[in-house]
Each structure stands twice: as structure tokens, then as C-alpha cells.
Structure 1
């Protein structure tokens, strides 16, 4: 009696062959999930970015040599095929309506290895590679945020490891009409080469991915978000301008800047208090000498219509009052091979480099403990906005193989750290009725379902870095991260007295007014006044207010502050659409998928449905070329001149103007002066 290779388990198809088990199951509306392992059993408790959704009412087709699962627009086929070393299980995915092959596995050699290769890493962990056929002309977008400067990532090798400015959100959209959720928090890489597409995991118990199919990019993106979580509404108080610098040292300084904004008639929604406002890292409370009455500060700011946001790091100073208690309870990320699992960095007390550990955000009780400290140190003063910095977690050198989390081996789970950290805050907000918000430097699958804004990290203050952020933001939009922003002006290297930096700041600020969140930040230098500013973290940075760059710059920046305020009704409509899965900042092809030229545009974008934004990304430029997509008419928001879509125009861009075009007769208060 022969043992069947293929069986059904409810809606799931199961295949067992030569020590490997593969599951195919329908999920969501137009998607199929694949899991595969060489372990004795599938790890169903593994960290997942997917929502726990009811299974679709679909039955697999089981045959002697194949199993087929069809769900909406996608058909997944798992077949036993002849290969040089004997029959092998191979997968392919097709569009249900057209029969077109979307994605299919491809063996690298006629004999060995197969399309899925496993190498033991000890215990239940495997080094895994899975290979797919490459296609000329295929375009790839998403994968989170990376600083390689590419929008279309065909031809790239992308490391799957969280780092400052490198955000791993492993969702990949293909121009061939599908997307892949790589549902593993383990480290690895993806190769999007001309000769193959390869996904790899450094050490994981199993393969876990989802293929989503659809007829248009927005439909595919929306289905992905239904599987991993739709974004909540952004609070109305977060739609305007956020003021930030490294760093405001005292309560008095924070209030002085806010009052100056008010006295100048400049709008502000959020005032950010950066690091070292605390006693020690890991105590998560204000330093009483510098901030003697945080509740009074928060109350005065709120009376001015300004919310207070505080920087919170997940680090715990070995000298902190909480350290022994957390270490004894197992709330600190542990080490598998080394004595220190953390970083060495500056802290306020003692004001030198300290040994810093990280609380273990993969441990539910550690998240509860951390929130308890946040509640006592900040929430009781009225604070509801938290800047979650360094939450990749940022360890240098970063060796995931040396980390031991509550959830498992660092190689297998570390990329989920930021999302689990955010989950702790989101659950506390919901339980305690807090209309809260997080600003985070990292993200993973599902981050978008929490009230989180992601920013692009500590990028340099140069025009090339500015241009890279535009492409990074477009890929974040295609990764479902709809609330995203940057450090306007870049984080490091900008001198407030230098004309070249002032030009960069103006151009970045103009673009920032048309990003989902409008936030000024940086570690500024001022060599003419004090050479230490912008170099020594404990010493701090130079001024970074709207009026810090001279009257000419101040006048331009003030113009865009008021423009953003005039757009608030439009922002509300745009942000409401984001909660349905439509990114506010988005590539042109998302709205114009049938225009081939729109797929090539990586230096301009839509901001909401009615506005095309074309930032000036080169120093000294006074004009720039702008492609206007086919299928719409476009009107210059500054001059009123109208153009037919499907052409490239040259837009004037004097220093005080960013090229903006209105779609199909839309009217927005761009050129009005308040």
C-alpha cells in the first residue's frame, strides 16, 4: 500500500515528500499561504505578521501527483515533477482568470539542490533558500525602506536585517500582478537578480510566505493590508507641523521655542523632546532638575494647541534603578555566546559612554513592565505621543546569532522586534483609552495596523541623501506604511550658517509639507559660533527653528507652514482614505497603472488623489522636468497653466517654489497667502 504524497486537511493541502512537509492554504480574498519545513511539525506558534482571519470557504483539489488551491485571483499548484535526482515538489502561482503564470519555483541545477534548500543550523533551525524564475522587465517595489537609491529594486540584493535607516517590511510587489508577504521575522536576504529571484533565511524553523494576486497595484496592496492590518486614522492633532531638534535640554527651552512660534504666528501641532531629557536610560522618566514640572509644561503646550512628544529608547543602562529587577525577571535581551547583548553609547548619568542593554520586546510581560514605567514617567503628566527611537534594536556591532530573545534565537526572530515593541504601546493605548501616537525608526509586517509614524532614520544632510529619501518613501508606501516622514534637512552634517545647507533645508522643507507627516529635525552644526555643536551628542546641536536660518529662509519656510495649514481639510480626506489602504504619498503608477511611463517615475509622486508633487532634488536648480501621467489633465498650482497628460514639461522652480500640479481641475488653496 502506497503512502499518498498529497492530502487535504480542511481548506489546506498538505504534501509530504522525502522529509519535507508543505502546507498550501487560502487566506484572505485573493491569496494563498505557503509553509514548508523539514522539522517533525510545522511551528504554528511562530511570530507572524498576518492577522488571525477565518479561512475562506475553499476546498483544495487533491490528485496523485498534484495539489491545487484556488482563492479568488490566485491559483497555487504544487506538483511532483521529474528531476535529475528523482521526483521533486515544485510550486507555481497563476492568475485564475487569465491562466498567466505569476511566479514559479525554479531549480538552480539539473541535479542538486532543489528549489527549496535546507542546511541544518542545529536544533529545529535551518539555513533556507527558495528560488523562483526571473523575468525580464519585471519591476519590484516595497520591501520596506532601504538606502540603495533605487525605486524599482529589480537587480538589487537586499539584506533582511533591521538597522538605522534600513527598515525591513518584507512585502514585495511585482509589476506582473502579484505580491509576496515573506512572513518570517528571521534575518536573511532577497536577491532580485536577472537570472533568479532568491529568498533566504539565516536560521529559521520553516518557510512561510503568502502570494497575493490582483488586476491592479492598488487592489493587490489593499488585499495585502487586509491580511496584515489596515492603518488606523492619524489623530487630527498630528496633521500639522512637528518641531524637533537634537536637543532641547530643559523645560524652559521647550516652552520658549513654542511661545516664539506662537508669537510669530507660526502654526505648530507637535513639540518633540529628544533624548537625554531622562534620568537614565531604562528608567523612562524626566530628569527632575531639567524638567521640574512636566505636567505644567504639557498643559501650557496643549493650551497653545501643541502636543508633547517624548523620546523613548528601549535601552536599559546597567546603572539604571530598573536594571537588576528587569534582568532578574528575564526582561532583558540575552546573549547566546557573549557577555554583552546591547550597545555602548552615551547617557545622561553618568555623562559618559555606558553599557546599554535592550528590554526584550518579544516578551509579553516585559512589554507590560515597560509600559508601566512609561505610564508612571510620562502618561501621568498628560503625554500621549512617544518617539520610539533606536528600536531596530540598534546594536553595534549587530550579531543576531549572538542574541537570545524570549521568542527564540536572534537569527530567527530579531526583525520583529520593532513591531512587537509597537504592539505593546498600541495595546496599552486601547486598554487605557489613550488617543496616542508613536514615531518609530523601524517597522515590520503589521506595523501599519498600529498608530505608528515611521521616519527614515539618521540620514545625512546632502542632496543625494534627500533624493534617496523620496525613493525610500515611495517603497514604504508600496510596503503599506502609509504614515511616513523624514528628518527635514537630514539628521547630520548640516551647518546652519552655510548657504548650501540653507538651500537644501528649503528644498527638503518644501517637500516635507507634502509628506504624510511634516517634521523638522536634525543634529545641526554651527561652526561659526561653536565648533562642538552637532558633533558631541551630550553637548547637543545648534538651533533648528524656522527662524534659525536667516530672514530669507524664514519667510519661505513660514509660507509652507501656512500652506500646510490651508490644506488641512484636504489632509483629513486623504488620511481617511489611508485607513482604507490608499497611501497619501504614493507612486504615480498606483493611480495610473496603464501608463508605462508612470512606472519609471521615481522622483515625483502623488500626495492624495489631486496633487502631483515634484521636489527639487539638485543643488542650484531653478527648474526641473516633470512627467504628467496619461489619462488626466494637469494644472500648475502656481501659474494656472493646464497640460494634457502623457508628456514631460519643464516646471519653473525658483527657491521659494516646489513644482505642484493639480489633477483634472481639482482646486486646492496652494497659491493663496494667509
Structure 2
């Protein structure tokens, strides 16, 4: 893979074609270099660039993007002849593509926020895009070694890193790699390619090289200078995740591994007796037998004598069951019958040039590897997943799906080599389960844990995690960076093994580390403890009820977190966001060196303690005014840095001044106890008008984003000289649900009891004011939330 600078002396003839659908395609016929360059807008903010050699006659490969052909008719674009051999295509979103006949180039820009120039030359498999410089780049999938990727060469070839820690070069490549980067100047580039490739993120140019056997197209995704809008537009292009099962936002216990029915029921019973809310348990490979039984995919009745009774018991307790499966079927254990059947049907990957199953050797044996590019293989797996789902399995765990061992000698059913198909394997595997649920369980939400894939993985309802991290402070350190880069790459639910997975035999247990990791898990998309040793929180009794309080706190955040899930499903926004996510163009880069703080949604900032023995930490505040949620009387201005006291029982987290943070009021054993009609809506007073929108639906159906399936409840605050005016009003209808709400408006650290408090002009009843904390509580009983309610707080 070699890169060369391109000549700037290329004469092109320009032909502008107005498509019948209403979209514009700019085609450059480059006779000198025997290629055709086409530029097609697919939205007001996205263009696709195709460079195809004149003699190309091969088969096109699937796109990472969704098929947006139907949407092209709605693209609004114009063409202007600027004279001097220059013409410009301009979309309604301000994205401009200038074709320069003299230079033989394309330049994409949006106002003065960014520009990207393609000299329209391809030297072998290399592609080079010039940019304006002075930019930070993010994304690239799951990248944990640095938040800003500028200056690095990204290898796009999924890999496992057992027991990794911060600072190790190997975590430049992790389980989910994708050829997408997002610039601090508010645009992104997606190379439409899932094959093994490299992307040099240079200070002046992006240089891309690939093993793809077909020409590479790319998309320029404009955010009109705003990082937030790049993420929205990118996820529109490659697909967004649907609303999650509510239980995924609760607490899930997991271990490598629960070895039998008695142990599993004992873990659940122990958690329940200790008062822990619990929504899920994950079964590692022992559910089907031993390590060498991989690929058996049925319950081991010697260790699980009545798994149906166990599944029924767990269902009654509100505990969902997730089971593991892998890409391999081994011959040295009890999966041998499956191996023989699948081998006879030709459903495994084959050695290139033969019709023979390729023998794959992994750490526990050898056998065949599912060829998920084969429709018959997909059907076989779908049938097995359906059988287990009907028995009571609720969610799925796809492990080793990089694939961890993927010999280069393999040729897949679709004709691609191992290197060419490797990164797409996780997407295609996830799609098997996703398609099954769409067909057989259309009104059931899906949770699939998958640790590997590429761009667009989230559209298959995947909840990824950062693979087999070391149980160490070095393992904890990169988790925020991983969640941030993954989130900006569309993976809104990227999480981690809380407590650390890969245990050092010489230091199996570190209680302080476990607590600090659990605090990070409180504000992570999925709170799932997982390890090989003492994974469950009840092992850490020396910390009293601290683990219990943290996990209970997770449930109090359900209304806020579920609204973040709505923002992810409707707009593609990640739950974990960088500090400068909402800053003006270029502003995000000022926080590049801060990799241990993040925004949880728009209005909450989290600063977990991630150093051993630390009882305080430095905290830098982004734009705005921030209220200490531990001590609301304390406020901090954006742009300042402080030393914050943080003993082990303190997790520093802050609310943006003016924020509304809804909290569940009732205690829960699981999310089935959640009552969205009874909330404490906490308002942190601000000096400027503010708003928050709460998502409200039936909590379980799949079609609730459609009209009639949900309500949006808007909270607004207007400060004025005499106090505050707070309004609540619902928008939309929620079929079959009561419009009544029983809210309590809580204003912490107000500092005074208002002289007059009214609800819709009438004196409020049941008002409470705590002099010691300055907290005001106002009951707001709403008969019909679609009718506006106004609360006046007058000095």
C-alpha cells in the first residue's frame, strides 16, 4: 500500500445531469486517466463521490450506507457556472462541490467552516483528500489510545486485545474498526469500504488504502460546522439504533462464567436478598457445556437439569437471560454432531480454491467457522436462535466476532477473501438475529451484545462493549475515550465490563478499583458487571451499602436515560458525548487532552475518578455554568479548572444551570416497577431560558416512535426579575395511556422560599421548603398533560 502525491494538471470535460428524481449528479469524464468521477448529493448535507476506472467491469460490493435512493428525490440542489472552467453544485444545506476543470479537482466545503479537496487521481488503491489543516479528528470506531486521532495511521481490521491497558499501542486497533473520521471543523468522511484498509489521518490530508477488489467511494458528511449535526447526519446515512428494551438500562450481572443452574439461581437469589435491583443475567459458554463444546448451542442438561423452570423463575423475577454464541463449531467436544451436519451442508467457511471446510484452530480446539455470508448458514443459525428464544432466552451475546481467528486462506461464500470480509462479519452476524426478530417477534425489542463489526453495526440493535479489558487501573483508564470515539462513530451504547474482566492472578481483587469502575458504570450506556472473579457487587462488603446505593441510583435515572435512548433512536446522538459536543465550530478540540470527563446527554457532566488512591481530581468545565449535583449550592463557570474533593464515596457530576433532570420516585426491584407518571423533576436554576423534552411511551413496543405511539413532554424555564416561570406541556398522543401525571417539581439550593407559588394561577398546595439545603418542592398534579401547566415562583 503505497501513496503518491497527485498531479494538479488534469484536464476534464464536465457533464451535468439532472436526474429524473430531482437529484443532481455531477459527472467528470477524465479521459486522460481513464476514469469517471461522479458526485451525487444524497441529502442536503451529504454527497457521495464515486471514482470508477473506464475499464472497470467487476461486481460492486455492498455499501455501508443505507439505500437512500428513495430519499434522493427530496434533495434540493442547484448548479451554477462560475466561468473559467469552474462549476459548483450547492445543496440547500450549504454544502458546495466545486469542479475545477483546470486543476482537475473537486473541492467540498460548507461556508468557511471546512474544505476538502480531491484531486481526482487514484494511484493503485490509494485515495488522498486534502483538508484545511489545524483539525482534530475523532471516531474511527472503537479507538481507546487517543481521543484525537490526527497524526496516526488507523488499521481497519478488527482485532481482539485480551487484558489490554491504557498506553498500549495495540489498542489503536480494537474489535470495531470503521473507515470514518469526524473533524473538529464540523464534517465527516466515510470511506464506503468494509475491507481491510489503512487510513492515515495526516495534518494536511487523509490518505486511504485498501484491499477492496472494487473502486472505493466516499461520503462527505457536513454538519454545517457543528459536531452534533455531523453525528446526526452520519447516523441517518448508515442507520440508527432502535429503542432499546427498557431492561438494558437497568443492572445486569455477568461472569465468566456461571457454570450451572444452581450457581446461577444462587447469584440471583443473593442479589435479591441483598436488596439489589436486577434486570438481567448473562450466561457465558458453560450454558452449553464446556469450552470444547463450542458450537453446540443447546442447554447442557447435566448442569442445567431444568433450564425451562429456571427461565420461568427468572422471568417472574423480571430477570432477563442473555446467552453467548460464537462463530465456531468445534470437533473435539459435544458439538461434533452439529459440525458433521453443517459440514455436509457446506455451511462453513471453505479453503480458497476448494469445496472443503477450512479447519480453524482456536484456544480451546479446532473445527469449522460459520460462513454468515451464506444464506443457508444464516437460516440454520436463525432457526437455532428462534428455538432458544421460544424457550425463554431474552437477549444474545455474539462473542469472538472480529472474527478472533480468521485464517487468510479462507474464501467466503460471497467470493470475498477473509481480509475483505473480516470487518463486515459482525454486522452480518448481528443481522441474522435482527431479521429473525423482525419476522418472528415484530413487537419485541432486541438486545444483542456484539463486540465486533464496522460502520452501521448499531442499526441491528447492537449493544457493544470494549472487549476483554484488564481488571486494573490501566484497564479502567481508556474506557471514556473508547465510549467517546465509538459514540461519534454511531455506536451510542458502547460500554465496558464493569469491574474489569481479565484478572491478574497475582492481584485478583481491588475493591477501590471495583467501586470507581461501578461509579463509571452508573453513567455508562449499559451497567453490566463482568469478570472471571468476584464480579458481583455483594462481594465488596467492606464498602457497606455503597455498591447498593450506586446501583439503585441507576434506576432513579431511568426517565433521563430513557430520554437519551429516544435521542439516540430519533437523532443518532450517543449517550456519552464529548465536552465540546455543542460548542461552536472548532471548539471541541480545546478538550482533546481531557479523556476522563464527558457529557451524559446534553445537560449532565460526569468526571469519574480513575486514579488509584485519589481523593480529589482536576475538573475542567465546558461552556456554561455548572451546578454540583452532590452539593447544589456550589456553581462553577465554564472555562475554569478546579481541584474537586472526591473521596471514594463521591462521584463528581454536575448539571448545566437551567437543566431539568427527571428522576424516578419509586423504588424498584427491576424496570418493570418503573412508574413514569410519578417523577421528581429537578430544576437547577439558571440565568437564561432553558428547556428539556422528556420521552414518554409504553416502554416496550417497537413502533412507538411513530405518531400515536409516544408523547413528548416539554419542560421550559423562564427566569425573570421576580423569580421563575416554569411550564409543562405534552405534545402528541399515547394510545391507551392515561394523560394524568403526578410530578414533584424540585428546585435544589434555591436559597429562599418564594413569597408566592402558583400552579396555573392558583396557590400551590403541599409545598415544602428545606431551610438547611435551600431546596423547594412543589407538587404538580396534572389531569391531562396535553394541557399546559404553568408554575410561578415569585420572590
Q: TM-score range by the shorter chain?
A: 0.7 to 0.9
CA gap 1:322/1:401 in 2 versus in 1, 3 angstroms:
closer
Aligned-partner SS, 1:421 = helix
* 1:306 counterpart = 2:319: yes
Q: Take 2:397 and 2:201, find their aligned partners in 1: how far apart are those partners?
A: 34
Q: Does 1:369 align with 2:369?
A: no
Aligned length: 619
- Take 1:185 and 1:296, find their aligned partners in 2: how far apart are those partners? 43
**Equivalent-residue separation in structure 2 for 1:342 and 1:623 (angstroms):** 54
Is 2:511 the partner of 1:502? yes
Q: Answer yes or no: is the 8 Å Cα contact 1:139–1:154 preserved in 2.
A: yes
Of 427, 430, 439 in structure 1, the residue corresponding to residue 435 of structure 2 is: 427
* Cα 1:77–1:323 shift into 2, 3 Å: farther
Structure 1: how far apart are the matches of 2:626 and 2:546? 29
- Residue number in structure 2 paired with 1:27: 42
Equivalence for 1:618 = 611
Secondary structure of the residue that 1:266 maps to in structure 2? coil
> 3-state SS of the aligned residue for 1:224?
helix
1:163–1:266 Cα change, 3 Å: same
Match of 2:418 in 1: 410
136-145 vs 461-470, greater mean Cα deviation = 461-470
Q: Tell me what 1:317 maps to.
A: 330
1:286 counterpart residue number: 299
> 1:331-346 alignment to 2 at 5 Å?
331-336=347-352, 341=358, 343-346=360-363
What is the CA-CA distance between 1:194 and the residue it aligns to? 2.9
Q: Root-mean-square deviation (CA), in Å?
A: 2.8
Structure 1 stretch 513-522 or stretch 664-673: which is displaced more?
Answer: 664-673
Shift of 1:412: 2.7
1:564 aligns with 2:554: yes
Q: What pairs up with 1:34-183 in 2 under 5 angstroms?
A: 34-38=49-53, 40-41=55-56, 45-53=60-68, 54=70, 55-56=72-73, 57=75, 61=79, 68-71=88-91, 72-81=93-102, 89-95=104-110, 98=111, 101-105=114-118, 115-118=121-124, 128-147=125-144, 149-164=145-160, 165-183=174-192
1:660 equivalenced with 2:653 (yes/no): yes
Give how far 1:15 is off. Answer: 2.8
Q: 1:136 to 1:14 in 2, by over 3 A?
A: closer
- Displacement of 1:588: 1.2
Q: Is contact 1:429-1:436 (8 Å) kept?
A: yes
The corresponding residue for 1:254 is 264
Shift of 1:407: 4.9
**Per-residue deviation, 1:606:** 1.0
Q: Are positions 1:647 and 2:653 aligned together?
A: no
Structure 1 residue 330, shift from structure 2 partner? 3.3
CA-to-aligned-CA distance 1:626-662 (integer Å, 9 cap, x gap) = 1111223332434641222221122111112221111
Could you say if the C-alpha distance between residues 42 and 209 of structure 1 is closer, same or farther in structure 2, counting changes exceeding 3 Å? farther
User: In the alignment, which residue of structure 2 is the partner of 1:297?
Assistant: 310
Find the residue that maps to 2:193 and give its secondary structure.
coil
Mapped contact 2:555–2:664 kept (Cα < 8 A): no
- 1:224 matched to 2:230? The reply is no
Which secondary structure state, in structure 2, belongs to the residue aligned with residue 457 of structure 1? coil
Cα distance in 1 for residues equivalent to 2:558 and 2:317: 18
Unaligned runs of 5+ in 2: 1-10, 161-173, 668-795
Change (3 A) 1:44 1:344: closer
Are 1:544 and 2:535 matched, yes or no? yes
**How many angstroms does 1:498 deviate by?**
5.6
Of residues 360-369 and 243-252 in structure 1, the stretch that sits farther from structure 2 once superposed is: 360-369
Q: How does 1:193-272 map to 2 (within 5 A)?
A: 193-215=202-224, 216-272=226-282
Q: State the SS of the aligned residue for 1:458.
A: coil
Q: Is the 8 A contact 1:281 1:320 kept in 2?
A: no
Aligned partners of 1:276, 1:163: CA distance in 2, in Å?
A: 24
CA contact (8 A) 1:6 1:65 kept: no
Paired residues of 1:167 and 1:443 also in contact (CA < 8 A): yes
1:589 aligns with one of 556, 580, 592: 580
SS in structure 1 at match of 2:195: coil
Q: Which residue of 1 aligns with 2:624?
A: 631
- Could you tell me how far apart the structure 2 residues matched to 1:167 and 1:3 are? 39
Normalising by the residue count of structure 2, what TM-score does the alignment of the two structures yield? 0.73
- Structure 1 stretch 438-447 or stretch 257-266: which is displaced more? 438-447
Aligned equivalents of 2:467 and 2:57: distance in 1? 36
Whole-Å separation in 2 of the counterparts to 1:263 and 1:381: 27
The Cα of 1:239 is off from its aligned counterpart by 0.9
Greater Cα shift, 580-589 or 20-29 = 20-29
Mapped to 1, the partners of 2:86 and 2:298 lie a distance apart of 60
CA distance in 1, matches of 2:154, 2:507: 37
How many Å apart are 1:357 and its aligned residue? Answer: 2.5
Q: Any conservation in 1 of the 2:194–2:423 contact (CA below 8 Å)?
A: yes
Aligned to 2:772: none
CA distance in 2, matches of 1:27, 1:380: 41
**1:163-217 CA-partner distances (Å, limit 9, x unpaired):** 1243113321101221011211111111112353211102331112100112211
Q: 1:282 to 1:671 in 2, by over 3 A?
A: closer
C-alpha deviations, 1:593-622, integer Å up to 9, x for none? Answer: 465644553220011233211111211111
Greater RCO structure (CA 8 Å; 6+ sep): 1
Task: Report what 1:602 is aligned to.
Answer: 595
Aligned residue for 1:272, secondary structure, equals strand
Matched, 1:326 2:342: yes
Counterpart Cα distance in 2 of 1:231 and 1:261: 31
Contact map agreement 2:59 2:214 (CA 8 A) in 1: no
In structure 2, the CA distance between the partners of 1:631 and 1:278, relative to structure 1 (3 Å rule), is: same
**Bigger mean CA offset, 403-412 vs 209-218:** 403-412
1:220-273 Cα shifts (integer Å, max 9, x gaps): 110111111122111111111110010001011111100111111111111011
The 1:42/1:603 distance shift into structure 2, 3 A limit, reads: farther
Quote the offset at 1:50 in angstroms. Answer: 1.1
Number of the residue aligned with 1:454: 464
Q: For 1:438-492, what per-residue CA distance to the aligned partner results, in whole angstroms no more than 9, with x for missing partners?
A: 0111132211122110000012122222111210110011011111210112221
Does the 8 Å CA contact 1:146/1:166 hold for their aligned counterparts?
Answer: no
Distance 1:254 1:638 in 2: 40
Checking the alignment, whether the CA contact within 8 Å between 2:193 and 2:212 is kept in structure 1 is: no
Q: In structure 2, how many angstroms separate the alpha carbons of the residues matched to 1:42 and 1:640?
A: 69
Determine if contact 2:153/2:200 at 8 Å carries over to the other structure: yes
